[in-house]
Amino acid sequence: MEERIERIKKQLHAASYKLTPQREATVRVLLEREDDHLSAEDVYLLVKEKAPEIGLATVYRTLELLTELKIVDKINFGDGVSRFDLRQEGVAHFHHHLVCIECGAVDEIKEDLLGDVEQIVERDWNFKIKDHRLTFHGICHRCHDVDEKENEAE
Ligand SMILES: [Zn+2]
Ligand SMILES: [Zn+2]
Ligand SMILES: [Zn+2]
């Protein structure tokens, strides 16, 4: 955790920003909840537990800054809420998501899997791809298991 904060601090410095205590509190929440996909309000409520004086606008600005510097990614799973997701370190490519339409769980796929698709798009559309977003909507293995158990009981 401390090492990652140190590296994020350097990324901010490289872009002439400081890791102020407010920004650090926000970064810590994102690191602690790395597997979650928090909205700005979620982040704000968690940061507030540690730094009660912080305002929502400050958290918003910090999240926008981190997005601009590509430390986090802003994603939307189609529910109209922007969520903030830490990028994996040293990976230009942004991971993929599986969103469960029953329980709302969000799982991540870290492997890319799309190399062939990108090649086709680059060739046929003469488009230089930098990255992509991929979200699958469906029913997760946990909800699947519940369905199966219910069927067995019937
Ligand atoms: Zn994610
Ligand atoms: Zn589910
Ligand atoms: Zn990918």
> Can you read off the two tokens belonging to residue 68?
């601009």
The reported pLDDT for the residue numbered 154 is 63
Fold exhibited by the domain 93-154: Dna Ligase; domain 1 (3.30.1490)
Fold exhibited by the domain 1-90: Arc Repressor Mutant, subunit A (1.10.10)
Name residues whose C-beta falls within 8 Å of residue 78's C-beta, 6 or more positions apart in sequence: 99, 135, 137
Percentage of residues in the chain having pLDDT higher than 90 = 79
Ligand 1 centroid, distance to 102 Cα (angstroms): 18
Q: Looking at the chain, which residues constitute the CATH 3.30.1490.190 domain(s)?
A: 93-154
Q: Is the dihedral of CA 1, 56, 106, 109 positive or negative?
A: negative
Residue 11 pLDDT > 80: yes
Ligand 1 centroid, distance to 134 Cα (angstroms): 10
Residue 80 pLDDT > 80: yes
The reported pLDDT for the residue numbered 93 is 80
* Ligand with an atom nearest the CA of residue 87: 1
Is 103 known as a binding-site position?
yes
* Ligand with an atom nearest the CA of residue 86: 1
- Mean of the per-residue pLDDT values for the chain? 92
CA atoms within 13 A on the CB side of 46: 18
Which residues surround the ion ligand 1 when the cut-off is CB under 5 Å? 85, 108
Residue 90 pLDDT > 80: no
The predicted model gives 67-88 an average pLDDT of: 92
* Ligand with an atom nearest the CA of residue 140: 2
Ligand 2 centroid, distance to 77 Cα (angstroms): 15
d(CA 117, CA 125) in angstroms, rounded, equals: 12
The reported pLDDT for the residue numbered 81 is 93
pTM attached to this predicted model: 0.83
d(CA 1, CA 15) in angstroms, rounded, equals: 21
The predicted model gives 38-64 an average pLDDT of: 95
Is 143 known as a binding-site position?
yes
